[in-house]
Structure 1
Amino acid sequence: MSISQSSGSEIALDEAKKLVETFKYKFPEQIKASFVGSESLNLILKQEGCIGVRIYYGYDAVSERLAPVLVGVDEKGEDMSDGIVMDKLKPCPQYCDPTSPFFLEK
């Protein structure tokens, strides 16, 4: 299976909620989500040759929580690690939408 600019698929809200619920059940102490602003995301996407973003699941040992790392990917499927690499996304809880069907406060 290869990657392209159209990689990824829409899923139904119920399926998405199930994925989020399962994660929350398995990892109850972890952050629920991370937010990245469009200007920051566009810094990665606007790099020459960038066809998308790869999200690595990092872990911040100081704050003891997940820390997603974003990096651009070129048409060969290779990380553009010599370009913009991003972390320090805004975590939920703290920066959450409590009205979201994904909030799942328990």
Structure 2
Amino acid sequence: MSQKELLTKKDYAAIGEAISHELAADFVKAYEQTYPTEARGYTLGRNIIDQILAQPGCVGMRFYYGLNEEGQKTLVYVGVDAEGQDIVKTTVVMSSGALVEADGVVADRIGGIRWPF
């Protein structure tokens, strides 16, 4: 890897930061005023988050908007590797010791939130 690549390589594991409760409330209020009929947010369970993050090479998660079978807005979420690529395939070691390619964990089935927090 060249020096330029090292200097410009994005650290996908470091994306995101904690913000204050006040700033979070401001963001939510601004969204609700702009999109009053949209779902306020979504709930994800820890089990599926842990499954995604436990995949080899996973450093974070990416969320895509989608429409579910009922035509409702939803999130589709997938693991991301250090290069910023979606983890849609992964290598699995079988009990025989053989290496096989398997689908990565891609998830949905969020819980919509409409009430205040």
TM-score, scaled to structure 1: 0.78
Q: 1:79 — aligned with what?
A: 86
Report the Cα offset of residue 91 of structure 1.
1.0
Flag the structure with higher strand content.
2
Q: What secondary structure is seen at the aligned counterpart in 1 of 2:76?
A: strand
Report the Cα offset of residue 89 of structure 1.
0.6
Q: 1:20 — aligned with what?
A: 28
What residue ranges of structure 1 are gaps of 5+ in the alignment?
101-106
What residue ranges of structure 2 are gaps of 5+ in the alignment?
1-7, 90-103
Flag the structure with higher helix content.
2
Larger radius of gyration: 2
- Percent identity among equivalent residues? 28
Quote the Cα distance in structure 2 between the aligned partners of 1:15 and 1:57: 23
TM-score, scaled to structure 2: 0.72
1:9 maps onto 2:17 in alignment: yes
